[in-house]
Amino acid sequence: MQTNKLSKLKSEGFKYVLLHVLIYVILFIPLLLISTKTLVVALILLGIFISHALCDYFMSSIHNGIKSLKILLIDQSFHILTLIIVWIMLKDSIVSFYKINDLLLQLDIKVSFEKIVSIILILIVIGRPTSILIESMLPTETTTLIVNDSESNENSLTSKTNYGSIIGVLERFIIVLLSLLNLWSSIALVFTAKSIARFKQLEDKGFAQKYLIGTLLSLGITLAVLLLFL
């Protein structure tokens, strides 16, 4: 839920960090609506706000706008750890899942609430977060064309639209959809279509290697997320 502009501004002032953290905490507000212990949830959200603000300010001061895979992993590890701690503290304080599942059955929805949450979480993780991670992991070169079809700009560095990143997200969404439908063999068609579109450029060995790295990272992360959350 953070724009690239806000991400860059965080290193320029604490007020932008607070704005980012406020947006982050607002996303937790639905917990207050379904919780049986509103005060407990409110106090935990306050703790999230304070700890997240301090962490983001500290991390922004360290990298000062410079992208680094190590810093990215440390930063995101803290965010994930925070979510795990919040879940452990709140899992007995929110509405029981069986009540929500009963409501879904009454609405003739035969998918459990846990399954719905898992699918939503998968789609969130394999979207922009995965694109940022892959871009950070790919080797960088001073070249006009970024080579990874999955996560990079299709045209030149001067282009404002990152078509490669959009293709990468769509690719992962399709993989998730096919896996949910148990059509694993059909996943190969996604990469066949990509290879046809890039057929001429694949004659360049350097491009082909980076294209393969980006594609395998995209596939590997998607499958790992599927195995973790389904």
Q: Residue 154: its pLDDT value, please?
A: 42
Under-70 pLDDT residues of the chain: 1, 63-67, 92-93, 95-96, 140-161
Give me 113's structure tokens. 């609430």
Which burial class, exposed, middle or buried, applies to 158 when counting CB atoms under 10 A from its CB (0-12, 13-18, 19+)? exposed
Q: Residue 77: its pLDDT value, please?
A: 84
In a domain, 111, yes or no: no
220 in the same domain as 139: yes
Q: Residue 204: its pLDDT value, please?
A: 83
Q: Residue 140: its pLDDT value, please?
A: 65
In a domain, 144, yes or no: yes
Give me 230's structure tokens. 């389904």
- Between CA 75 and CA 60 the distance in angstroms is 10
Q: Residue 172: its pLDDT value, please?
A: 94
Whole-structure pTM over 0.95, yes or no?
A: no
In a domain, 154, yes or no: yes
Q: 138 lies in which domain range?
A: 128-229
Alpha helices in the chain (DSSP H): 4-9, 14-26, 30-34, 38-63, 69-90, 97-106, 113-125, 128-137, 163-180, 187-197, 205-229
Contact 190, 124 (CB under 8 A): no
Q: Residue 141: its pLDDT value, please?
A: 55
In a domain, 153, yes or no: yes
In a domain, 210, yes or no: yes
Give me 199's structure tokens. 């057929």
Q: Residue 66: its pLDDT value, please?
A: 61
Give me 167's structure tokens. 């293709």
In a domain, 122, yes or no: no
| Number of domains the chain is built from | 2
Q: Residue 145: its pLDDT value, please?
A: 40
- Among 54, 78, 95, the domain boundary falls at 95
In a domain, 88, yes or no: yes
pLDDT tens track for 41-83: 888 888 888 888 888 878 777 766 566 778 888 888 887 888 7
138 in the same domain as 58: no
71 in the same domain as 138: no
193 in the same domain as 132: yes
79 in the same domain as 9: yes
